[in-house]
Amino acid sequence: MQTQVTVTVAPHPDACRKLLVPTGIPTPHQMPVRFEISGGAFCLTGECATGQMPALVTPERGQPITVRYRYRDGGPGYPDAAFTPRLNRFTRAAHALAEDAIRISGDSPDGHAAIQALVNAAAEKFRYAHPDARFTDGCEEIPHLSCGLTEGSCVDINTYLIASLRAAGFEAGYITGYFFPEEKNGGCDDMHCWVVTRHDGVVLEWDIAHHLKMGTRTIRCGLNPKPGDRVAVAHSMGLAFPELGLSGEKLMAEPLWVSENGLDKAAITIRREISQEAAAA
């Protein structure tokens, strides 16, 4: 079976803008096998912090850009680079957060239990929402949330979780992509992210945000606690694109317009199709 994801990007009012598009990454569940763009010419540009190679698109004037990903079932696993710790303002735990993560880990009987405990601790800090102001705004490190519930999206929750896990010495990766809820019949509105951990050779996947959306704080490893399916397009936070003169960008997922000041959101529509016939061919 193969999955095709089509992302359509509306033209930008500034016809000179270029578009940055991640090209897809493998997971244990899927392998990217095709990447196509219409509505513009593209070349690959390097991301120097992680080695990823997104596409830089020069649009045809006034035309929408269509990005098509194709994945086949089964893959070699998440990229090793996703688990490499890189300290930057999106991943560095404040002293109080690091102390708390180390304490939680130390109180656990083994590494796998410690990871579960850190996941549970992060889940207890948040109420799922999309606040106008993020709890990390204006911070050069990830602050410790000591009491009450903080409003946060999947990006906020997983930022906190990654900082906690790495502060406690665990391998953890931040994965971005698209999630297609079962009830939306192949559509979704925007990007999604999740966390993967690797300990003693065992890779586990965590999606706190979807558990919270379903009204439970009993967090279990594994994807799609909320019915649906997903694809991965990129990984990691704190990205740098030397050819574009950009550094310290938070993440890649949806296509982003390149500006002098960084990367800006694009107006997009996202669709997914699953084909049995393509796999047989």
pLDDT tens per residue, range 164-203: 999 999 999 999 999 999 999 999 999 999 999 999 999 9
Task: State the chain's mean pLDDT as an integer.
Answer: 96
How many whole angstroms separate alpha carbon 131 and alpha carbon 156?
A: 10
* Interval 118-146 mean pLDDT: 97
pLDDT at position 147 is: 87
- 82-232 — its CATH code? 3.10.620.30
Which residue is associated with the tokens 């991965």?
232
Asked if residue 121 has pLDDT above 50, the reply is: yes
pLDDT tens per residue, range 204-246: 999 999 999 999 999 999 998 899 999 999 999 999 999 999 9
User: Phi and psi (nearest 5°) for 10?
Assistant: -70, 150
DSSP one-letter code for 147: S
Report pTM: 0.96
Asked if residue 281 has pLDDT above 90, the reply is: no
How many whole angstroms separate alpha carbon 237 and alpha carbon 192?
A: 14
Asked if residue 278 has pLDDT above 90, the reply is: no
Q: Could you tell me the CA-to-CA distances from 223 to 100, 182, 207, 210, 220 in Å, in that order?
A: 27, 13, 6, 9, 9
Domain ranges of the chain: 2-77+238-280, 82-232
pLDDT at position 258 is: 97
Alpha-carbon dihedral sign for residues 234, 239, 241, 246 = positive
Taking CA 166 as the corner, what is the angle to CA 54 and CA 114, rounded to the nearest 5 degrees?
130
Asked if residue 90 has pLDDT above 80, the reply is: yes
Which residue is associated with the tokens 């439970």?
216
List of E strands, the chain: 2-9, 18-21, 30-38, 40-44, 55-59, 65-73, 126-128, 150-152, 171-181, 187-188, 191-199, 202-206, 228-235, 239-241, 246-249, 256-259, 262-265, 268-275
Asked if residue 280 has pLDDT above 50, the reply is: no
Greater confidence (281 vs 259) lies with 259
Using pLDDT thresholds of 50, 70 and 90, give the confidence band for residue 28: very high
pLDDT at position 277 is: 59
Burial of 61 from C-beta contacts in 10 A (0-12 / 13-18 / 19+): exposed
Asked if residue 14 has pLDDT above 50, the reply is: yes
Cβ neighbours of residue 94 closer than 8 Å, sequence gap 6 or more: 139, 141, 142, 143, 144
Which residue is associated with the tokens 């002293």?
95
